[in-house]
Each structure stands twice: as structure tokens, then as C-alpha cells.
Amino acid sequence: MSTSEQEAALDSSATSINPLSEPCVMVIFGASGDLTKRLLVPSLYNLACDGLLSPNFAVLGSGRSKLSDEAFRTSMANETSGLRAFHTRHEFDEAACDELLARFHFESANIDVEDFIRLKATVEALDENIKRVVMFCFTLLWRHDFLVPCVKTCTRRDFKVIVAGNALSWRNLLVQIWSLP
């Protein structure tokens, strides 16, 4: 199916009550963890099943794990600890799952400037691939002791292009803080 056919199909399921999402690169810090698999990915899957995700939507997962894009996708869809285990639909839609996971990418990174510069370059490349989207959603799914170093690194001069944006952009920051027992 061509991009214009996909957009037409998605537009037909979107309504004024449930509009099609805006084009977006969602950056998930701490993406290889349990909260991403149990909460965030099933939510995105529901949006995909309902035809509410823009064709110009991508996910960039980031974490300390060393994962390829394919390994990240496999982990997110796992039968016992991923989307197949935690979806909330009566029936699992394999096509919607495949289409959603094809938009997932992973970049290993620590909370330091050098790794964030690499993340910035990856976000810019994804942005270019999905038609110059300038909207980003940052999701932090990290322990509380990672929050301050992450935000400090994000606000450094080299990463401000992503965080600050411009008049046409929006930036969201969802923070899920958890602590170890």
C-alpha cells in the first residue's frame, strides 16, 4: 500500500472525536525496560489498531542495553514479556503489530553528552525519513536517580535543538519515575 493510500485509510478511521495523530518522533529514554513493554507499546498498538497513528510516526527507543533495531522490535513484541503478552484487544492483529514495530528504532546511550549528540543525530535522521517532522515526544522511564542527569544533559547547548524546538514544534515530556525496592 502506498503512503497516500495508507493516509487515506487512516484518515477514514480518524474522526473529530478521535483525530489522527500528528506526525511525531517519540523518543523513549529507558525503552528496553518493563514499563515500555507493559504500558507504552500496548497503548501505541491500540492507536495503530484503531487507525489513529500518523503514517509519519516513529519511535526511537534509547537505553543502556546494547540492542539492534531488530532486537528491540523482537523484545517489544515478545510472546511472554512484550506486546503479545500485554495487549488488551480481544484478538491480536499481527498486521497492525508488524506495521507498528517497523517504526521502532533503538539507540544505545548513557546519560552523557557524547551519547546524546548521537541520539540527536538519529532523531534528525528519523525526522528526515518521515518528511521533516518537527514534533517530538520525550518519555523518561527511568529510576528517579537518572532524571536530573538526563534533563541536565538534554538542556546542554548541543541537544537544545531537539529540546527547544521552534514556533512550529511541540515538545512533550512524560516522566514515569520509579524506584527500586
The structural domains of the chain, with segments of one domain joined by +, span 20-175
20-175 belongs to which CATH class?
alpha beta
C-alpha cell at 162: 531537539
CA 131-73-128 angle, 5° bins: 15
Q: What does the pLDDT read at residue 30? A: 81
CB-hemisphere CA count at 13 Å for 127? 18
More confident residue, 72 or 2: 72
C-alpha cell at 150: 538526563
Residue 32: strand, helix, or coil = coil
What residues pair up with 172 in beta bridges, in sequence order?
137
Is the pLDDT at 146 greater than 70? The verdict is no
Confidence label for 29 from pLDDT (cuts 50, 70 and 90): confident
- Residue 124's contacts (CB-CB under 8 Å, 6 or more residues apart) are none
- For 12-21, 54-63, 66-75, 97-106, which range has the lowest pLDDT when averaged over its residues? 12-21
